Structure 1
Amino acid sequence: MNPIDLDKVLRETGKELRREVPVIIRRRQDEVYAALAELPMQTRTKQKHRFKKARKFMGATAAAAIIGVMSSAFVSPIMAESLKNIPLVGSIFKLASDLGLRTAEERGLVTEPNASVTHEGVTIRIPQVVYDGSRLSLAVKREGSGLIGGISDYEVVQEGENIKQIYQRGAITDIEMFVDGTSLYDYSGGKRPGLMGNPTSDPNAFLYQLTDYSYQGEGALTMPDQFLLTAKITLEGIEEPFIIDLPVRKSTDHIVVPSGETREWGGLKLTLEQLKLTPITTDLIVNIEQSSQSKEIDPQNLLYEVWDDRGRVLGLVAGMGVYNKDGQYQMEMMFDRFEETPDNIILKPFLPVFQDPTANSGLFAVDSNGEIVKKYLKDLEITIPVESASLEKLYDIHHN
């Protein structure tokens, strides 16, 4: 399953977003900022200059995953499978099959604020947070009596052309995030971090993830190395929203690998603009220029896989694609980390096969295993050599 465009979901359901910034957030902001100084942060940044060539990469969709109501239906592809058998929110990062989050737990990169707010006998708790400069993951736990159904459950009812979402008491009906007091809903610049939600097997637990797309440029709302994150969570049947302040610091180093390597096929010119590696996330930016001969190929239909040189495919975390002012299509994709340090990282673009090939849109064709049928574009593959010593030091994982 691909990441969900939550803004689109909100538009289709006709939901109106509340835009008033609670006064309580500003009132408490200075007090909470003081806690930032007590959080650990690594600031060493390593730069590598020019890596060459190309070949494999992991399935991404050009989804603009932003803000919205979260439910068990809104699942990023790597988290849906990884959280099936996790009984306790406090152990989500440690037990997830997302190797990046598991690594964060093992290396002590996770902050455990255990911040909570209680209204009408119901408590919302945030027990764990981790931020590596690319993505921020936080767990949300619900406690209390008189709760019906799961924290992310709702029923969709269609009445003629209208679609309604029906929530039981205690279910999340709205989630709004603030970065240093600025709402992701209301940011006037338009470009902002993405927010996704992922359910767990615990009906009272949910995992949120903010992704900071670095290519958005001037005027974008970004997550700096340290900031105040405020979560405003509204539950059905509880009048007052739950407002929780969390001082956040980046807890990892990173390596930036500028590339500029290009490949051409079918009137498309693909450029790998940047590769950024943290102990948690593999972050890539690609740029696509389209000539007049390629008008029948929509750059938004071009998807990607990331592989290591042992044939292992990275799990997709999030992705966003936009057209820039020059008409070029830029896409940033975040994947899991590598299990072991590879000698080469391989970007492998492909086109999904549609059930109706003549329409070149609509539903994807799937194989007997339920996987998307793919047309790999070998001429666009890019292989990136890796300086193993630097990456091994960055990962710094000692196996027993």
Structure 2
Amino acid sequence: MTLETLIRQAKPNYIRGDAEQAEQIILENVRRLTAGQADVERGSEVFSSKQGIKRLTRGKSWRSALIIAACVSVIGLGAVASGFVVPTMASALSHLPIVGGLFSQKGDAGLKAASSQGLVSEAAASDTHKGVTFSISDVVYDGARISMVLTRTSEDGKNEPLDKWTKAYFHERSASRSESETNAGLLQFWADQQKLNVGWSLASDIGYHHSAILTIEPDPVNLESFHLPDEFQLAIQIRDSKLKQDFKLDLPVKKIAAEKVIVLSESDIKSTTQFDMTVKRIELTPITLRADIALTAKEGSEGETIKEIGDSLQYEIWNERGEMAQAMGYRGSEIGDSDYVRSLMFEPFTEIPQSIIIKPYTWDGKNKVYLPELETVLFVK
């Protein structure tokens, strides 16, 4: 079914007077804005602030947000402004890009669930300098991560893909003698004026689009930095090296309802001849399954360093029904000479599990080698 057909079917029958004229204006704007555009299957690579977190997703390229503006600017005088949206209109709009958020179009399973369950909050933070605007829309926080939609637009309408912005920063940084000359980061974050020591990633075809999903994640070395209140004011500083300009955005963030979050505490210690392993924390939300795992080298152990061991270990998470959670990414780091921590993100199970099974493994060539002595089971109470 074409976009034009969807809009025709979605026209609310209670818009009186100029309904037919409104429909024609909408369709004309859609034709103009989508002229020459095609949906193309592309691989979407995650851009991360730190090494060790990288993944690919698939999805169709989404059309300009101006399509929605074209529709809503006309419909808003009737259906939207009145506070009612008939089912056919809601269905049609849900097929259009941006309505329901980039989360529903390009997000992982957790973000799509957040969108469908109404857990996403609207945000309207923006800052403009020299004809360029950075803005944040749609934000969700579940205690394990904060995700939002970041958009960069320009008044000349070119709206370059976000990867040109990121590449310009790293070019500026490589040409500088110190990181301080570039204000210490492409993106920096504060919660209630307290600097956050966190990692972040940008996902959703940044090589092709000027909007992306920005996710803030805990740094495994500084997990306490992510112990945030249920409500806080998030400040974001964005460096635009093309303009030699910093942008500052502020937005309120509220955690999803506490009854939707399950936290499992520290597990028993599992051991090998070289190290001990402890699952420090498992957090289950409708959006994310997060696991924090710690390794400690045994005194006098020989062979690989704890960093080499930690970097080589991988993990699967299963439930009691034999379903494996889909991994989204991880961050890992050594602490001193004997400790290593890793924070892993998985897509949530469709139903709350009765138990969580962590299965560590390594690779032997192309084959997985599971380590049953490290397998850990935590029961969901």
The TM tier, using the shorter chain, reads 0.5 to 0.7
TM-score, length of structure 2 as denominator length: 0.63
Q: CA RMSD in A?
A: 3.5
The alpha-carbon deviation at position 136 of structure 1 amounts to 0.2
2:110 corresponds in structure 1 to 100
Q: Deviations over 1:314-371 (max 9, x none)?
A: 22243333326x9332323222211233343221111234xxxxxxxxxxx6x5xxxx
Q: 1:97 offset after TM fit, Å?
A: 5.3
Q: How many Å separate the matches in 2 of 1:149 and 1:2?
A: 17
Q: Give the aligned residue type for 2:377.
A: T
Output one character per residue of 1:73-115: Cα deviation in whole Å (capped at 9) or x when no partner. xx742xx305554444553212345221112112211111132
Q: Does the CA contact (< 8 Å) of 1:342 and 1:386 recur in 2? A: yes
When residues 224 and 352 of structure 1 are mapped into structure 2, their CA distance, relative to the original with a 3 A threshold, is farther
CA distance in 1, matches of 2:377, 2:45: 25
Write the deviation string for residues 121-159 of structure 1: whole angstroms up to 9, x where unpaired: 332221111111110001112223263741223669x99
Looking at structure 2, the residues matched to 112 and 141 of structure 1 have their Cα atoms a distance apart, in angstroms, of 14
- Give the length in aligned residue pairs: 284
Question: Structure 2: which amino acid aligns with 1:6?
Answer: S
8 A contact 1:2–1:76 mirrored in 2? yes
Aligned to 1:150: 161
From 120, 140, 148, the counterpart of 1:130: 140
8 A contact 2:362–2:369 mirrored in 1: yes
Structure 1 residue 6 corresponds to structure 2 residue 49: yes
Distance in 2 (CA, whole Å) between partners of 1:288 and 1:240 is 42
1:116 aligns with 2:126: yes
Aligned to 2:314: 303
Deviation at 1:383, TM superposition (A): 2.6
Higher RCO (CA-CA < 8 Å; seq separation 6+):
1
Deviation sequence 1:24-56 (CA, Å, 0-9, x none)? xxxxxxxxxxxxxxxxxxxxxxxxxxxxxxxxx
Counterpart CA distance in 1 for 2:153 and 2:98 is 12
Identity over aligned pairs, percent:
25
* Secondary structure at the counterpart of residue 111 of structure 1: coil
Structure 1 position 385 matched with structure 2 position 379: yes
The 1:333–1:232 alpha-carbon spacing in structure 2 relative to 1, beyond 3 Å, is same
Secondary structure at 1:100 match in 2: helix
**2:236 aligned counterpart, secondary structure:** strand
Q: Is 1:203 matched up with 2:209? A: yes
Q: How far, CA to CA, are the matches of 2:248 and 2:229 in structure 1?
A: 21
In the alignment, structure 1 residue 242 sits paired with structure 2 residue 247: yes
Q: CA deviation at 1:215?
A: 7.4
Amino acid at match of 1:204: H
- Kindly indicate whether residue 57 of structure 2 is the aligned counterpart of residue 81 of structure 1: yes
Query: Where does 1:1-400 land on structure 2 (aligned, <5 Å)?
Result: 6=49, 63=52, 76-77=54-55, 80-82=56-58, 85-87=61-63, 88-89=97-98, 91-96=101-106, 98-144=108-154, 145=156, 147=158, 149-153=160-164, 174-184=186-196, 192-200=197-205, 203-212=209-218, 216=222, 220=225, 222-238=227-243, 240-253=245-258, 254-291=261-298, 292-293=300-301, 295-296=303-304, 298-300=308-310, 301-308=312-319, 309-323=321-335, 327-353=338-364, 373-387=367-381
Question: Structure 2 stretches of 5 or more lacking a match?
Answer: 1-43, 64-96, 177-184
For structure 1, the residue ranges without an aligned partner over 5 or more in a row are: 9-62, 64-74, 166-172, 185-191, 354-364, 368-372, 388-400
Call closer, same or farther: CA 1:200–1:5 in 2, change over 3 Å.
closer
Higher relative helix content: 2
Q: Distance in 2 between matches of 1:238 and 1:149?
A: 13
Residue identity opposite 2:120 in structure 1: V
Amino acid at match of 1:302: L
TM-score (norm 1): 0.61
Distance in 2 between the 1:102 and 1:5 partners? 21
